[in-house]
Chains A and B, each alone.
Chain A
Amino acid sequence: MSGRPETERKTDGFDAGAIRRQFAILNREIAWLDNAATTQRPEAVLKAMDQFYRQHNANVRRSVHRLGAEATAAYEGARATVARFVGAAAPEEIVFTAGTTAAVNLATFGFARWEIGPGDEVWVSALEHHSNWVPWQQAVKGVGATLKVIPLTPEGRLDLEVFRKGLAAHRTKWVAVAWVSNVLGAENDVRAICDLAHAAGARVLVDGAQGVAHLQPDVAALGCDFFAFSGHKAYGPMGIGALWGRRELLEQTEPLLYGGEMIARVDDLKSTWAEPPYRFEAGTQNVAGAVGLAAAIEWVRDLPAGAHAYVAELAREAAARLAERPGVRVWGPAEGRVSLVSFSVAGVHAHDVAQVLDGRGVAVRAGHMCAQPLMRRLGIESAVRASFAPYNAPDEIRRLLEGVQAAQELFT
């Protein structure tokens, strides 16, 4: 038995089956609905990384031999690909990091915290992932600054009216906001937030982790000052991501990691730093990861027309079907889902829902999803999340619904 009768189905001309066939891991009988935690990787990405290690592997920017030159070309080529992807002015505006968390920490502790002093304010939004909350919380701690929170409207969107009124010229220094919520699923109006913040003299960091797989990033259009994202949430490898920052900001950013390759000159008692972005890339870098990230970006760019609309439609359909079920509460705005739906089942713990689903071959996320401040505002400890990619089939929504029903029958 195939077990995946619907994967070949075409929806509005978009062929999810053709995408799915590029993912070897999906030959397992798994409905992978945990894409917001990490996507799977297509053959093109695996092949690019494999090829790097098999044919070009060397340490970059320090070797005179030919493999060193090839590895450097591959690494810097990847940087240029990332730069084009996010709309950077130059490749040098891209710092490779271990991922979004590392990128946010570099921006926060390498740059932002030097601008934050007693009486100043930093804003985060109520729906931030811990990776874009905790660094700012720690940055204001001890310097006499205050962390403020953009609240949610009853519908589950950011309340920009409260933000607008609360912004304090000269006191508000930084704003940190997610492009797309990893729990509520909607795209935030980052442009409006950036415009409001800039008018008050503040700068903005955007956590792009949940956006890059599904929306076209353009840092100029978003209007932000720093943009962070991970490769693994967009079909690339784990352990690689990037921080984009305008050159003049990166030039003022302090390194957080000291060591090899990030220096201009080392004397016994003092050192000077290399130019950005190399100043921030101490030690041997994840070159194969960068190569894989570039391959993933190219893969996303080459997705057939309709792929992103198809994913949004899967999320909308799943949310609508879940909301129809007695005892199920769907979180987040009804309109504008990018790729995911989070929900709670009355009387059944999120982990138990996920466990029952796993028993039926459906992989979802359950827990606080690294957004405890948001969970508290929703009045819950945890939720279940189904998140989609172009390789998912409409039939997997049916399996999700059947699993939720089975969990309800088992526990209530």
Chain B
Amino acid sequence: MNDIYQAALLAHAKNPHGAGAVPRGTEDAEALNAGCGDEIRVKLVWTPEGGLERLVYEIHGCAVSVAAASMAARRLEGKTPDEIAATAAAFAARLGQAGFEEEWGDFRAFNGIENYPARLHCALLVWQALEKALAKRAGP
């Protein structure tokens, strides 16, 4: 019935990887979904070498937005800012078309979401916050 809620997506939504407290004012960036009031605040912790040690986020959102944040947190560990930006762009370009390929790993749980255009922005919420955080890090 609801092919948007695949087991892999529900697993992330129920036990989100990297979710934690990011008190207001301490975030690197936040993103809001004006349509539903959902919000995410992200904090990016970097290694001395400049890779992402971990993505911490506090989210008030639906299963799709929580699962997307969880998948991002897992996938982006160790990645450089450029690699994160590239993944964000690739994901945004890819979302909404059927058949995420093997290399997308857990993101394949978003196969089927193309049938629910109203929910695509849920999957993008964490990426919008990440892009803002990277832009801020890069400076003016």
Contact = CB atoms under 8 A, between A and B. Distances in A.
Given A410-B10, A411-B13, A351 B36 contact: yes
Interface stretch (A140-148, A209-217, A366-374): A366-374
B1 A359 contact: yes
A136 B82 CA distance: 45
B20 to A, nearest CB: 18
A355 interface: yes
Given A352-B62, A359-B2, A381-B60, A367 B37 contact: yes
A64 B100 CA distance: 62
A355 B61 contact: no
Nearest to B13: A411
A367 B36 contact: yes
B36 A368 contact: yes
Interface string A381-397: 11000000000000000
B63 interface: yes
A356 interface: yes
B37 A349 contact: no
Given A381-B39, A381-B60, A411-B63, A355 B14 contact: no
B131 interface: no
Nearest to A349: B62
B11 to A, nearest CB: 12
Interface string B62-83: 1110000000000000000000
B46 interface: no
Interface residues of A, number: 17
A213 B112 CA distance: 38
A370 B73 CA distance: 31
B88 interface: no
A367 B61 CA distance: 10
B10 A367 contact: no
A31 to B, nearest CB: 15
Contacts of B10: 410-411
Interface string B1-23: 11011000010011000000000
Given A351-B62, A411-B14, A356 B2 contact: yes
- The secondary-structure label for the interface of chain A is helix
B37 A381 contact: yes
Contacts of B54: none
A349 B61 contact: yes
Contacts of B36: 350-351, 366-368, 381-382
A410 B5 contact: yes
A382 B33 CA distance: 12
Nearest to B2: A359
Interface in A334-383: 349-352, 355-356, 359-360, 366-368, 372, 375, 381-382
B119 interface: yes
A287 B38 CA distance: 39
Given A382-B38, A410-B5, A351 B14 contact: no
A349 B61 CA distance: 7
Nearest to A356: B2
A356 B36 CA distance: 16
A411 B37 CA distance: 20
A195 B36 CA distance: 36
Contact of B38 (A359, A381, A411): A381
A366 B14 CA distance: 20
